Chain A
Amino acid sequence: MHINQESATGEASQHGLFLAVTAADFHKFVGLLNTGFMLNIRVGESVQTLLCDRIGLDKSYFDERIQTLFLNSKPVDDPATAAVKNNAILALSAAMPGLVGATFRKGGTYRWMRGSISHPDDSDTAAGKVGWITVKLFNLILKELGPFFLEGGIWLRSETIQAFFKERSGSLGDAIQYVSWNGGEIVPGGILEIEWPDEPIYIKIIHQN
């Protein structure tokens, strides 16, 4: 799968970080996504269109594995009609334990126990424009889709990247094989020396055997 972000180039940061890491250590970088990451969207498209048609998630995986979705903190029952807006926050999770976990499941028996907080079916008048969305991946979805998004390329807040490498510099060891910052190669330890701009950074990580 490949994340199609061609529409992003016009508004995206020009700052880019590219890493090649060892396959055995690739999972260690999924922690970069713990607090969410950004992608470009076409405003007004549905959650399902965004994730399946444009980003390329397998439809059966989307239907069966992603059982809990929140759009701007509102549980989504029908991803085919829930429209994404500029600066929206989309959270994706597998089925969750507990009554409350079951309550948030898309279209679940217990959804009525939420009361009034469900996401409404809607459409957006600004449909078609390019915008941003923050995506959060939880539990099994983080483990399973995290590598996919890292390989496809995403945007992260610079302080998120900075904090990640500062906190984990000791545990990453020799995992990083190659680093490029703004198109120029730097040594792996040089990540800690980067003067990070105060804007989203495009980051892409691939693994090598």
Chain B
Amino acid sequence: MDKILRVKMGADGGPQIVVEPLGDYAGMGGRAMTSAVVAKEVPPLCHPLGADNKLVIAPGMLSGSAAAMSGRISVGCKSPLTGGIKEANSGGQPSQMLARLGCAAIVIEGRPADDTLYKMVVNKDGAKIEADNSLKMLGNYDLVEKMKAAYGDKVACISIGPAGEMKMSAASIAFTDMEQRPTRHAGRGGVGAVMGSKGLKVIVVDDEGTARREPADPDKFKAANKAFVAGLKKHPVTGEGLPAYGTNVLTNVINEAGGYPTNNFSTGQFAGASKISGEAQAELENTRGGEGSATHGCHRGCVIRCSGTFYGKNGNFLTKQPEYETVWAHGGNCGIDDLDAIAELDRMDDDFGLDTIEMGATIGVAMEGGVAKFGDAEAAINLLKEVGQGTPLGRILGNGASVTGQVFGVERVPVVKRQAMPAYDPRSVQGIGVTYATTTMGADHTAGYSVTANVLGVGGNVDGTKPEGQVELSRNLQIATAAIDATGMCLFIAFAILDQAETFQALLDVLSGFTGQPCTADDVTDLGKSILKQEREFNAAAGFTSKDDRLPAFFKTEPIAPHDVTFGVSDEELDSVFNF
């Protein structure tokens, strides 16, 4: 990857695309690239929907190569939801394709002079952008069909739905999957609203005529990649559990642990959990059958294949297999125990271009505010339709749980830095509460997901029995995760790395074999630390203080059943997370 495409939406005479060398950004990918560009080029106090904000789309460092699991793509900007720096990432096909086109990043900046909507096409001959107002307010599915008709069935699309055009803070950016469906999303933080504010509806990516990126040391890379894949396949989580049940395999277990936020975080267990569990979902999908029903990858090169395809009662494709967080958000968090209704909501989220976590949490808050009753699936579907239609109520909901809680006078609003909390109650699992509170991204379960100190050797072995243990674990998890996000690797590789030292070494060797440079655990942690420092500095300059690194007060005052516990990590401990 040797170039950056700079899309200047406010250029005289209309948007222009400038091809630039990598310069200071050489060697970066994924979250390292997006956060570096945002930190260096975006004024921290700018309005997120204004001309000064920039939207950065960057394939991972290993994307486009033969490295397994390397198809993740990062999207960065100043978030309209949190007001801080944002990196949201996604699977799908565009990461591999952009990387093969040599494109290390697309940076979209400025703002068009009027409300004209644009589409952009990137291929081996270059990139062009043109007005196309016929695309206005199209859902992602219709949009992709239109692009498919115009550019063929091999291209990939990066697009926004009506929510992005309406600049809603819950708007996502869609990335097409292997079947050319807009099912993969950079969901969190309102990145779709920023794309909408730039007047860009879709980027069509065509990698025809390009070749796979070749490693600097082919022999080392090939051997390491083989060992890495073998490690993933032999591990019970990445080799068996995730392929069989997907991430929704967590529903039963988190519910059993009393950490399953139910009815807007009012209790920790959901009576209907077994009906929407991964086990029930896989059984339903296998019974209905169809291509890729219960086991399917989200991008080429995926060997875990934790996704699947959800066919409706009529046997037709409805949506991809909803993930755990989606099933929780639209399911247990709203008291809904109907997999078909949850799949319908997931389809609508993908079509309108909305973050499923934010929308499920928002509907939960709205239900608590009396807008609908917990458990009423039809009401939830109707509320989401209002978001897609942009009615006044829909505009409120589409701007997330925080705004909705304020409008309807709800005290129990599960957000950090205004971003909705995912599917794990921090009172039952206190350590994840530390990550929710302190991550630069707002409440985010993936921010501290990856391998830990005892594997990477960051700061020596952690003694979790000490009071500072959870803080130290969270710190090291956040460092490691930031580094993984830069590589383009799926975070789910973490499970095999966690347990199998040889698989972690294989990952280091894949990186080393690809770049031709030595790569150690220290290098990985240094990368993670530098990303986090940049992000923290941006947020501080944007006005964030330690008071933003807190969970909402109700987590400290409302015990949650069945364990009857509150969040007990002190503010002083939270403030020490970034002492590195």
A binding-site residues for B, Cβ under 8 Å? 31, 34-35, 65, 67-68, 70, 73-75, 91, 93-104, 109-117, 136, 138-140, 142-143, 171
Contacts and interface: CB of A to CB of B under 8 A. Distances in A.
Interface in B247-289: 247, 249-250, 252-254, 256-259, 269, 274, 277-280, 283, 287
Given A95-B237, A109-B454, A140-B241, A101 B253 contact: yes
Given A95-B495, A100-B424, A117-B258, 10 more contacts: A34-B277, A73-B269, A91-B253, A94-B241, A96-B237, A98-B250, A112-B465, A114-B429, A114-B430, A139-B249
Given A73-B269, A99-B477, A102-B495, A110 B431 contact: yes
B50 interface: no
B568 interface: yes
Nearest to B470: A113
B428 A34 contact: no
Contacts of B430: 113-116
Interface in B444-460: 445, 448-449, 452, 454
A139 B492 contact: no
Contact of B254 (A65, A100, A139, A143): A100
B contact face: mostly helix, strand, loop, or mixed: helix
A111 B563 CA distance: 16
23 contacts: A34-B280, A68-B253, A73-B562, A73-B563, A93-B253, A95-B235, A95-B241, A96-B253, A98-B247, A99-B431, A99-B477, A100-B259, A100-B424, A103-B432, A112-B469, A113-B470, A113-B473, A114-B431, A116-B563, A117-B428, A138-B249, A139-B252, A142-B279
Q: Which of A65, A68, A116 has the most CB of B within 10 A?
A: A116
Interface residues of B, number: 57
A113 B431 contact: yes
A208 B313 CA distance: 32
B341 interface: no
Contacts of A115: 427-431, 470, 565, 568
B18 to A, nearest CB: 41
B240 interface: yes
Given A109-B454, A140-B244, A97 B250 contact: yes
Interface in B409-428: 424, 427-428
A74 B268 CA distance: 13
A136 B279 CA distance: 12
A13 to B, nearest CB: 23
User: What are the nearest 9 A-B pairs in CB distance?
Assistant: A113-B431, A112-B464, A115-B430, A91-B256, A138-B252, A73-B258, A117-B563, A100-B424, A70-B256
Given A110-B473, A142-B279, A96 B241 contact: yes
Contacts of B152: none
Q: Which of B258, B279, B280, B499 has the most CB of A within 10 A?
A: B279
Q: Which of A31, A35, A73 has the most CB of B within 10 A?
A: A73
B206 to A, nearest CB: 34
B245 interface: yes
Q: Which of A95, A100, A171 has the most CB of B within 10 A?
A: A100
B370 interface: no
Contacts of B498: 102, 109
A97 B470 contact: no
B45 to A, nearest CB: 33
Contact of A67 (B236, B247, B568): B236
A71 B69 CA distance: 36
A31 B283 contact: yes
B62 interface: no
B245 A99 contact: no
Contacts of B452: 109-110
A116 B565 contact: yes
Contact of A113 (B235, B240, B280, B464): B464
B264 to A, nearest CB: 19
Contacts of A138: 249, 252-253, 256, 277, 279
B250 A96 contact: yes
B242 interface: yes
A141 to B, nearest CB: 10
Contacts of A67: 236
Given A112-B464, A112-B470, A114-B428, A104 B253 contact: yes
Nearest to B472: A112
A112 B431 contact: yes
Nearest to B259: A100
B305 to A, nearest CB: 13
A34 B274 contact: yes
Interface in B281-311: 283, 287, 306
A142 B306 CA distance: 18
A142 B473 CA distance: 32
A53 to B, nearest CB: 24
Given A34-B280, A112-B470, A139-B249, A97 B241 contact: yes
Contacts of A31: 283
A95 to B, nearest CB: 5
Nearest to A168: B287
A97 B257 contact: no
A99 B237 contact: no
Nearest to A73: B258
A65 B239 CA distance: 13
Nearest to B481: A99
Interface in B438-490: 445, 448-449, 452, 454, 464-465, 469-470, 473-474, 477
A124 B562 CA distance: 21
Contact of A94 (B240, B435, B565): B240
B442 to A, nearest CB: 17
A115 B428 CA distance: 7
Contacts of B454: 109
Contacts of B240: 94, 140
Contacts of A139: 241, 244-245, 249, 252-253, 278-279
A116 B287 CA distance: 41
A104 B274 CA distance: 19
A112 B283 contact: no
B95 to A, nearest CB: 22
B449 A99 contact: yes
